[in-house]
């Protein structure tokens, strides 16, 4: 009886662990404004990034760095639906920029990446010539790489092992309490 119970518990554990071991699908960046590699006439006052799902509001960070490494991002990052927006200083000069971003995916895992653009002139109060329309998901040739931790998801596994140990203890206790052939406990 104990062997059968342990076999059942082992099979249940394998069935539950099989989907956990597969790579989890984290959210992905679906578009940016300005687009990666794009040259804009005037420095935009806001950088927008669209994601496949709404990122969590914790741990989000966006830097807008010039070629010298100075960060021109100002204010807090804003998340509306699946779009993350970062304001840029009105004093930002023209030049090459790298946007370095990190968000927490809707599944709780951090994802990060970079993309670049060039502004022909600084913002200096001039209106931006960019429409706030992120790159479509159909055009992914310029999409920045995202990197997500490729490690094994230990938290769900630890919880699953705890549940399985509890189930094993219950099965073993019930097996001990089973009446013998004479009807006594």
Which is more confidently placed, 98 or 5?
Answer: 98
* Same-domain status, 67 and 90: yes
* Same-domain status, 41 and 79: yes
* Same-domain status, 51 and 127: yes
Separate counts of helices (H) and strands (E) for the chain: 2, 9
* Same-domain status, 45 and 121: yes
Express each pLDDT in 100-134 by its tens digit.
999 998 888 899 999 999 999 887 644 433 333 34
Q: Phi/psi at 116 (nearest 5 deg)? A: -130, 160
- pLDDT for residue 26: 77
d(CA 185, CA 167): 21
Angle at the Cα of 82 (from 66 to 51), degrees rounded to 5? 60
Express each pLDDT in 16-50 by its tens digit.
665 543 345 678 999 999 999 999 999 999 999 99
Express each pLDDT in 144-161 by its tens digit.
334 333 444 445 555 656
* Same-domain status, 90 and 36: yes
* Same-domain status, 131 and 158: no
- pLDDT for residue 148: 38
What residues make up the domain containing 64?
A: 29-147
The CATH number of the domain holding residue 69 is: 2.60.40.1220
Q: What is the pTM of this model?
A: 0.56
d(CA 40, CA 97): 11
Q: Phi/psi at 32 (nearest 5 deg)? A: -135, 155
- pLDDT for residue 57: 84
* Same-domain status, 9 and 51: no
* Same-domain status, 33 and 93: yes
* Same-domain status, 71 and 12: no
Whether residue 142 is contained in a domain is answered as yes
What is the total count of domains within the chain?
2
* Same-domain status, 44 and 91: yes
């Amino acid at each position: 009886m104990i062997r059968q119970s342990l076999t059942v518990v082992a099979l249940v554990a394998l069935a539950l662990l099989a989907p956990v071991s597969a790579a989890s699908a984290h959210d992905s960046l679906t578009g940016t404004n300005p687009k990666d590699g794009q040259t804009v006439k005037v420095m935009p006052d806001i950088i927008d990034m669209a994601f496949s799902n709404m990122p969590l509001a914790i741990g989000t960070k966006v830097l807008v760095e010039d070629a010298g490494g100075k960060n021109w991002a100002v204010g807090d990052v804003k998340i509306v639906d699946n779009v993350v927006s970062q304001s840029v200083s009105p004093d930002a000069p023209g030049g090459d920029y790298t946007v370095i971003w990190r968000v927490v995916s809707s599944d709780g895992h951090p994802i990060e990446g970079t993309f670049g653009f060039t502004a022909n002139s600084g913002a200096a109060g001039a209106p931006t010539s960019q429409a706030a329309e992120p790159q479509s998901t159909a055009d992914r040739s310029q999409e920045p790489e995202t990197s997500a931790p490729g490690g094994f998801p230990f938290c769900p596994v630890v919880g699953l092992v705890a549940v399985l140990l509890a189930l094993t203890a219950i099965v073993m206790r019930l097996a001990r309490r089973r009446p013998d052939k004479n009807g006594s406990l």
